[in-house]
Amino acid sequence: MRRSVQIQTARGLSKYEILISNGGLLRAREFVSDILGDHPKKIAIISNKKVFSIYGEDLVQELTSSQCPVVVYLIGDGERFKSFSVLETTVDFLAENKISRTDCVIALGGGVVGDLAGFAASVYLRGISFIQIPTTLLAMIDSSVGGKTGINSGHGKNLIGAFYQPRGVLIDASTLATLPDREITCGLCEAVKHGILSGYRLFNKTKSLIGDVKFDNEFDAFLAAQIKFKAKIVSGDPNEDPSRSDQRSRKILNFGHTFAHALEKVTDYKYLKHGEAVGHGIVFAVELSKKLGILDESVVNLLRGVVHRIGPLPSLEKLDRQQVFESLKRDKKVIDGTLQWVLLNGIGKPVIFPHSKLGDALVKETIHEVISQ
């Protein structure tokens, strides 16, 4: 069964399709030619060795035709390859292969490949067509939707990047069959985040999947519901307007991420995967909301329980609490000198709180509690 989600972007005119189609990878040519039209185009697939060794050959075979040559560039596997130097070699590859304004970049892989390839497509020749084929759960429901692309720098994660919408996104959940359990856990953490922000309907749908993930029709419906939620938020605030702080501003998608980014930073991006850090970050935001007296104890217990059921999250026991606090205060999402916390009034009711209203003591106390749990 094919499902389609439309997303409206910054200029208000360009819309693109996110197609959810089990087995769709093997019908990619139709999707690509619907987007690019029929006349000859060159396609540059950007992937990593691991993903390409599983799905690359099928995709190349499907896309290659006499009119449409395909070239392939493989980056290394891992967060550290979302870097300036890999961006440079990727753009060099596009230039060496004479990729032109009418050609297209396709990202085949998880969020690392998608973020890097999207950014390369946005800067090469001031922007060429870009299509995402995400192959992790996290990339399907989150990173491939909404047009944030970028790389990391020594000064911070995702510090350099662009809002650059793809021309289309093709999601084939059958590719998740080879994804390691730990990566499924990561995707479910982001999915629970969306559920909490959206309301009971998406939250319960997501909750019912935990511990029983099967890549069937129902799963495709879950993906569509997840993507629709993210698409709705992104369409309403495509460039994350810094002056907005309402319940539907794009900033709310940062729920759980302030603490998550601090954890990733102090562990040098090696100990925790991004989604696992988000799992801990959700618990942190929930505890902080409880301390502020804005979230019911029953919801706190429900959410703590759901995060723990998703899967084992690496223990935080050995982390230095002071380092985590200092890292939090250097978060890149500081606006007017203060950190913006996304907290919770209830399921479906996010609230944005400036750090200046909370104070250091409450945050330090919460760090202590969450790390000791």
Q: Where on the chain is the footprint of ligand NAD (CB under 6 A)?
A: 48, 50-51, 54, 77, 79, 82, 109-113, 115, 135-136, 138-139, 142-143, 146, 148, 158, 175, 178-179, 183, 186, 274-275
Nearer to ligand NAD, 90 or 136 (CB): 136
Q: State the minimum distance, in angstroms, from the CB of residue 122 to ligand NAD.
A: 12
Nearer to ligand NAD, 51 or 343 (CB): 51
Q: State the minimum distance, in angstroms, from the CB of residue 86 to ligand NAD.
A: 12
Contact indicator for 251, 352 with CB cutoff of 8 Å:
yes
Q: State the minimum distance, in angstroms, from the CB of residue 76 to ligand NAD.
A: 9
Q: Considering just the CA atoms, what is the radius of gyration of the chain in Å? A: 20
**Structure-token pair, residue 104:** 């297209």
Nearer to ligand NAD, 321 or 333 (CB): 333
Contact indicator for 135, 95 with CB cutoff of 8 Å:
no
Contact partners, residue 227, CB within 8 Å, separation at least 6: 5, 18, 20, 140, 141, 145, 171
Nearest residue to ligand NAD on Cβ basis? 111
Would you give the DSSP letter of residue 174? G
Give the integer Cα–Cα distance in Å for 215 and 311: 18
By DSSP bridging, strand 70-75 and strand 104-109 are: unpaired
Under DSSP, is residue 349 helix (H, G, I), strand (E, B) or coil?
strand
Q: State the minimum distance, in angstroms, from the CB of residue 40 to ligand NAD.
A: 30
Under DSSP, is residue 71 helix (H, G, I), strand (E, B) or coil?
strand
Give, in order, the Cα–Cα distances in Å from 295 to each of 94, 344, 346, 363, 364: 51, 6, 6, 16, 19
Nearer to ligand NAD, 131 or 358 (CB): 131
Under DSSP, is residue 345 helix (H, G, I), strand (E, B) or coil?
strand
H-state helical runs in 199-256: 200-207, 217-236
Give the integer Cα–Cα distance in Å for 253 and 251: 5
Q: State the minimum distance, in angstroms, from the CB of residue 43 to ligand NAD.
A: 20
Contact indicator for 46, 52 with CB cutoff of 8 Å:
no
Contact partners, residue 306, CB within 8 Å, separation at least 6: 192, 207, 210
Contact indicator for 10, 163 with CB cutoff of 8 Å:
yes
Q: State the minimum distance, in angstroms, from the CB of residue 230 to ligand NAD.
A: 9
Under DSSP, is residue 254 helix (H, G, I), strand (E, B) or coil?
helix
List residues bridging with 75 in a β-sheet. 48
Nearer to ligand NAD, 107 or 283 (CB): 107
Q: State the minimum distance, in angstroms, from the CB of residue 293 to ligand NAD.
A: 31
Q: State the minimum distance, in angstroms, from the CB of residue 133 to ligand NAD.
A: 10
Give the integer Cα–Cα distance in Å for 67 and 35: 16
Nearer to ligand NAD, 139 or 263 (CB): 139
